[in-house]
């Protein structure tokens, strides 16, 4: 039976880095589910139509890691019909052999509530803003405002709000190096049977 690792948390917390490292370590597939929503937002037009017609090629766009794509993703992710169109894709991916790591904002609570391991990765707002500003070459204070706005919107939405699953293990990466955070996550995965 495939082993599923669900990783949730806010932007720039380190969840993608940890997810990729876990997938590499255990030979699992990796799906950054935020890319699905970023692609739908970046495609423009009717987001429901875009979600229903999303292809793997749409996830390869060069503009999906921009701040604008992140804001668009947060807006379209609040649309129930968009979420419904993308849920089946994510659930199928989660159960591919030998296992999969999915990272997003509602993986442990909605997409994979039966995942063998659930992690919630977080960091302080200021640390996350600094990381994202360095990544994008942007102004840290502007990024801080955008992150807080997005977090508030994602946590308050009616459909699949961003929150830790009741049985998720919380990892705060504010004071951890990448290697320390990955090592902690690998240990948790091994303990869970990955």
- For the chain, the domains span 3-192
Q: Say how many residues make up the chain.
A: 194
Please tell me the predicted confidence (pLDDT) of residue 116: 98
Structure tokens at 85: 């169109």
Please tell me the predicted confidence (pLDDT) of residue 17: 96
pLDDT in tens, the chain (194 residues): 899 999 999 989 999 999 999 999 999 999 988 899 999 999 989 999 999 998 878 888 999 988 888 888 888 988 989 988 999 889 988 998 999 999 998 999 999 999 999 999 999 999 999 999 998 899 999 999 999 998 888 888 777 788 999 999 999 999 999 999 999 999 999 999 99
- CB burial string 112-136: b at 16+ within 10 A, e below: beebbbbbbbbbebebbbbbbbeee
Please tell me the predicted confidence (pLDDT) of residue 83: 86
Q: Which among 12, 43, 5 has a CA at the least distance from the CA of 26?
A: 5
Please tell me the predicted confidence (pLDDT) of residue 64: 92
Please tell me the predicted confidence (pLDDT) of residue 6: 98
- The vertex-45 CA angle with 41 and 47, nearest 5°, equals 50
Please tell me the predicted confidence (pLDDT) of residue 25: 97
Please tell me the predicted confidence (pLDDT) of residue 155: 84
Structure tokens at 136: 């994008």
Please tell me the predicted confidence (pLDDT) of residue 157: 78
Please tell me the predicted confidence (pLDDT) of residue 113: 96
User: Residues forming the annotated binding site for ATP?
Assistant: 9-17
Please tell me the predicted confidence (pLDDT) of residue 88: 83
- The architecture that CATH gives domain 3-192 is 3-Layer(aba) Sandwich (3.40)
Q: Which residues contact 151 (CB under 8 A, 6 or more apart)?
A: 10, 11, 125, 162
Please tell me the predicted confidence (pLDDT) of residue 151: 87
CB 107 within 8 A of CB 8: yes
User: Residues forming the annotated binding site?
Assistant: 9-17
């Amino acid at each position: 039976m495939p082993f599923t690792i669900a990783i949730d948390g806010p932007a720039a917390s380190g969840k993608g880095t940890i997810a990729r490292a876990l997938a590499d370590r255990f030979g699992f597939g990796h799906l950054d589910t935020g890319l699905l929503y970023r692609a739908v937002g970046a495609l423009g037009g009717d987001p429901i139509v875009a979600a229903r017609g999303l292809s793997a090629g749409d996830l390869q766009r060069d503009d999906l890691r921009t701040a604008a794509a992140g804001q668009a993703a947060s807006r379209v992710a609040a649309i129930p019909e968009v979420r419904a169109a993308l849920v089946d894709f994510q659930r199928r991916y989660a159960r591919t052999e030998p296992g999969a790591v999915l990272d997003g904002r509602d993986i442990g609570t909605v997409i994979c509530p039966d995942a063998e391991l659930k992690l919630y990765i977080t960091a302080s707002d200021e640390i996350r803003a600094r990381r994202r500003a360095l990544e994008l070459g942007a102004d840290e204070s502007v990024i801080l405002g955008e992150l807080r706005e997005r977090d508030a919107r994602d946590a308050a939405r009616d459909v699949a709000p961003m929150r830790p699953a009741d049985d998720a293990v919380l990892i705060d990466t504010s004071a951890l190096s990448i290697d320390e955070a990955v090592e902690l996550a690998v240990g948790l995965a091994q303990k869970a049977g990955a």
